[in-house]
Structure 1
Amino acid sequence: MTEIPDILKKIVSRKKEELAGVKSKTPLSEVRARAAEVQDAPRGFIAALESSRNGGRTAIISEVKKGSPSKGIIRADFDPVGIAQLYEANGASCLSVLTEKDFFLGDLAYLRQIRQRVSLPLLRKDFLFDPYQVYEAKVAGADAILLIAAMLELSQLEDLKGYAGELGLDVLLEVHDERELEMALETGCRLIGINNRNLRTFVVDISLSERLARLIPEGHTIVAESGITRREEIVHLQECGIAAFLIGESLMREADIGAKLRELAG
Structure 2
Amino acid sequence: MTILDRIIAQKEKEVNELKAIYAYKQQPKQKRKSLYDQIQGSDTISVIAEVKRASPSKGDINQTVDPIAQAMQYKKAGAAAISVLTDRQFFNGSMADLSAVAAALPEIPLLCKDFMIDRVQIDTAVDHGASIILLIAAALKEEQLKDLYDYAKSLEVGVLFEVHNEQEAETALKIGADMIGINNRDLKTFEVDLSVTERVAALIKDERIALVSESGIRTRKDVLQAEAAGAKAILVGETLMRADDIKATMREIRIPLGRAVR
Bin of the TM-score, shorter chain as denominator length: over 0.9
In structure 2, the partner of 1:88 is 75
Which deviates further from its counterpart, 41-50 or 173-182?
41-50
In structure 1, the partner of 2:40 is 50
Q: For residues 42 and 135 of structure 1, what CA distance do their matches in structure 2 show?
A: 17
TM-score by length of 2: 0.92
Q: For residues 77 and 136 of structure 1, what CA distance do their matches in structure 2 show?
A: 25
Matches within 5 A, 1:73-112: 73-112=60-99
1:260 match: secondary structure = helix
Contact 1:42 1:169 in 2 (8 A): no
Deviation at residue 75 of structure 1 after TM alignment: 1.1
1:17 aligns with 2:13: yes
Q: CA RMSD in A?
A: 1.3
Aligned mate of 2:203, from 190, 207, 215: 215
Contact 2:2 2:189 in 1 (8 A): no
Deviation at residue 234 of structure 1 after TM alignment: 1.2
Report the AA paired with residue 176 of structure 2: G
Contact 1:125 1:146 in 2 (8 A): yes
Gaps of 5+ in 2: 256-262
In structure 2, the partner of 1:148 is 136
Report the AA paired with residue 212 of structure 2: V
In structure 2, the partner of 1:245 is 234
Residues 1:137 and 1:76: Cα distance change in structure 2 (over 3 Å): closer
Aligned mate of 2:116, from 89, 110, 128: 128
Percent identity over the alignment is 41
Aligned residue-pair number? 253
Q: For residues 88 and 144 of structure 1, what CA distance do their matches in structure 2 show?
A: 17
> Which structure 1 residue ranges, 4+ long, deviate > 6 Å from structure 2?
none
Deviation at residue 85 of structure 1 after TM alignment: 0.2
Normalized per residue, which structure has more helix? Answer: 1
Gaps of 5+ in 1: none
Aligned mate of 2:59, from 61, 67, 72: 72
1:3-56 deviation line (CA, Å, top 9, x unaligned)? xx6111111111111222222222xxx31xx22x323224312112223x2xx2
Q: For residues 173 and 83 of structure 1, what CA distance do their matches in structure 2 show?
A: 25
1:138-165 deviation line (CA, Å, top 9, x unaligned)? 1111111000000111111111111111
